[in-house]
């Protein structure tokens, strides 16, 4: 990886930027291949979501991920972390059962031709690759909004952690690059990014009530599926299956995904708020409580998250519901299935997982059983190898996994797309973070499709599972507008 040091901030002077890109172009000519050039600069603290709001365009790929104070993923500190990626210097769409391997190879190939200005190990410095995977390997619907896998290196990446803000510009440099045009374009775009105001200006029109009228539409089909799945479980064909419900809603005015993200992070500061677009006007957004896996300096962290109950309206009711959850044999069994799956899968990769004590993850409207799991990741194992091994967990599919996925296709009359699938990033050092795309919605214009699911095991009650799904949908619906 060639390192061409520049001045402290190459964007202070367009001439400095030109000279740097000229040196990079010369390297590209000498080696007879194109190179990815990555420029990292620290700037005064800005809101990455506000920058996405200002500069993101419907015909561009984008990615956004923010973790709240109660969610631990990017670091062991209790602090809000946000990262936005806008545009694509490189991208690839992939289908098929080897999609995780292909994405890993794409990242490694891209990094083999990297020129950077920074060799530090600081968080969010240097190029990051942003990924979205659909739940199933193959799309069986025409004009699917997302391919089996999307991976891209953004043109611009903005991150904020502990009020430390890093901007990364990524450029594809080859012998045909117009240095004057590129240096001027990058210079002016950087100036525009750093001049954005801190204040957030969102929609003032409140029309959530118009959408909530559709909350119970077609929910009877979900109840029937739960009842049918319970028959399979009672006959020992399945141990568990996670069934989802999709709710289509229409707004009287266009929905703005970035405004919805702002609402989500206000309503659910204890969740991962995320968005990934396809560059064709569709965005998949949500507020997920579930981290699939994170990796920092070879320290791997994941969670077994299964078993849930609503929050109480009073402290006494809340405590009663929490105690019932912690003592429910049904919920404890469902949770243990996920623990056993994760430890076995990590063991298959040669890892030695360590389990922390089980605890409650209490969110604003729901609480879950959670068991944190840690392990040291060998250098020979890539983060995407772990993602491929873990997805889908029993928390979003069921057991046995293969049979549960077959039955999901049978019972659900819609395509899951990115719902309940891995969404995240990998940096140039191999660190990364992936969340599970639950409590989510596909947004396009005035239309949104909302997704929520529930785990079905022996002892499940169709009406109770329906109520859990409605609770999740209602929380998401309230944040869309």
Residues known to be catalytic: 240, 290
C-alpha separations of 19 from 158, 179, 183, 189, 194 in Å: 24, 9, 9, 18, 22
- What gap in Å lies between CA 97 and CA 89, rounded to an integer? 26
- Nearest Cα neighbor of 203 from 239, 255, 154, 163 is 255
- Nearest Cα neighbor of 242 from 392, 443, 113, 139 is 392
Cα of first residue to Cα of last residue in the chain, in angstroms, is: 45
Per DSSP, helices labelled H in 112-244 are: 179-194, 208-212, 219-234
- Nearest Cα neighbor of 84 from 450, 481, 425 is 425
Quick one: tokens of 197?
A: 């105001």
For the beta carbon of residue 137, count every other beta carbon within 10 angstroms. 15
- What gap in Å lies between CA 459 and CA 73, rounded to an integer? 33
- What gap in Å lies between CA 438 and CA 451, rounded to an integer? 7
For the beta carbon of residue 254, count every other beta carbon within 10 angstroms. 11
In this structure, the chain runs to a length of: 481
Quick one: tokens of 106?
A: 């794409």
- Nearest Cα neighbor of 440 from 294, 301, 290, 312 is 290
- What gap in Å lies between CA 196 and CA 9, rounded to an integer? 18
- Nearest Cα neighbor of 338 from 323, 353, 319 is 353
- What gap in Å lies between CA 165 and CA 47, rounded to an integer? 9
- Nearest Cα neighbor of 219 from 468, 444, 478 is 468
Cα 438 from chain centroid?
9
| Preceding omega of 46 cis (within 30 degrees of 0) | no
Side-chain half-sphere CA neighbours of 294 within 13 A:
16
Q: Which residues have C-beta within 8 Å of that of residue 481, sequence separation ≥ 6?
A: 203, 205, 206, 207, 208, 211, 251, 255, 259, 260, 263
Hey, is 368 helix, strand or coil? strand
Question: Is residue 158 a contact partner of residue 167, using CB atoms and an 8 Å limit?
Answer: yes
DSSP class of 358: P
- Nearest Cα neighbor of 211 from 413, 414, 443 is 443
């Amino acid at each position: 990886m060639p390192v061409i040091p520049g001045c402290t901030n190459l964007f202070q002077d367009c001439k400095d930027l030109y000279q740097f890109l000229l040196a990079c172009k010369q390297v590209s000519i000498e080696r007879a291949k194109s190179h990815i050039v990555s420029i990292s600069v620290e700037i005064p603290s800005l809101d990455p979501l506000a920058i996405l709001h200002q500069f993101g365009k419907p015909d561009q790929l984008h990615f956004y991920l923010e973790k709240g104070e109660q969610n631990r993923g990017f670091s062991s500190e209790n602090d809000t972390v946000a990262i936005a990626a806008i545009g694509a210097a490189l991208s690839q769409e992939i289908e098929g059962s080897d999609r995780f391997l292909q994405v890993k190879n794409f990242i490694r190939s891209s990094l083999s031709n990297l020129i950077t200005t920074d060799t530090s190990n600081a968080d969010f410095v240097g190029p990051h690759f942003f990924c979205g995977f659909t739940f199933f390997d193959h799309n069986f619907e025409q004009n699917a909004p997302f391919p089996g896998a999307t991976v891209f290196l953004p043109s611009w990446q903005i991150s904020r952690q502990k009020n430390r803000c890093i901007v990364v510009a990524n450029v594809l440099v080859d012998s045909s690059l117009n240095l004057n045009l590129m240096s001027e374009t990058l210079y002016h775009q950087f100036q525009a990014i750093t001049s954005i105001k801190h204040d957030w200006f969102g929609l003032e029109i409140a029309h959530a009530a118009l959408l909530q009228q559709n909350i119970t539409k077609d929910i009877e089909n979900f109840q029937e599926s739960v009842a049918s799945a319970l028959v399979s479980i009672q006959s020992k064909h399945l141990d568990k299956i996670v069934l989802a419900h999709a709710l289509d809603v229409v707004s009287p005015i266009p929905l703005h995904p970035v405004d919805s993200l702002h609402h989500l992070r206000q309503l659910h500061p204890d969740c991962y708020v995320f968005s990934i677009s396809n560059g064709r006007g569709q965005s998949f957004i949500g507020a997920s409580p579930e981290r699939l896996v994170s990796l920092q300096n070879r320290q791997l962290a994941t969670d077994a998250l299964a078993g849930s109950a609503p929050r109480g309206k009073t402290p006494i009711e809340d405590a009663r519901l929490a105690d019932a959850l912690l003592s429910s044999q049904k919920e404890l069994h469902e949770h243990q299935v996920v623990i056993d799956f994760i430890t076995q899968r990590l063991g298959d990769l040669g890892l030695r997982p360590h389990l922390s004590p089980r605890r409650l993850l209490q969110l604003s409207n729901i609480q879950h059983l959670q068991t944190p799991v840690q392990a040291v990741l060998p250098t020979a194992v890539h983060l995407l190898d772990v993602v491929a091994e873990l997805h889908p967990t029993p928390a979003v599919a069921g057991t046995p996994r293969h049979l549960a996925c077959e039955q999901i296709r049978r019972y659900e009359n819609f395509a899951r797309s990115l719902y309940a699938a891995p969404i995240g990033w990998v940096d140039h050092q191999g660190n990364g973070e992936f969340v599970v795309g639950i409590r989510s919605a596909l947004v396009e214009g005035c239309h949104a499709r909302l997704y929520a699911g529930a785990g079905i095991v022996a002892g499940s009650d169709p009406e109770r599972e329906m109520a859990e799904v409605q609770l999740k949908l209602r929380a998401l619906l309230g944040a869309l507008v």
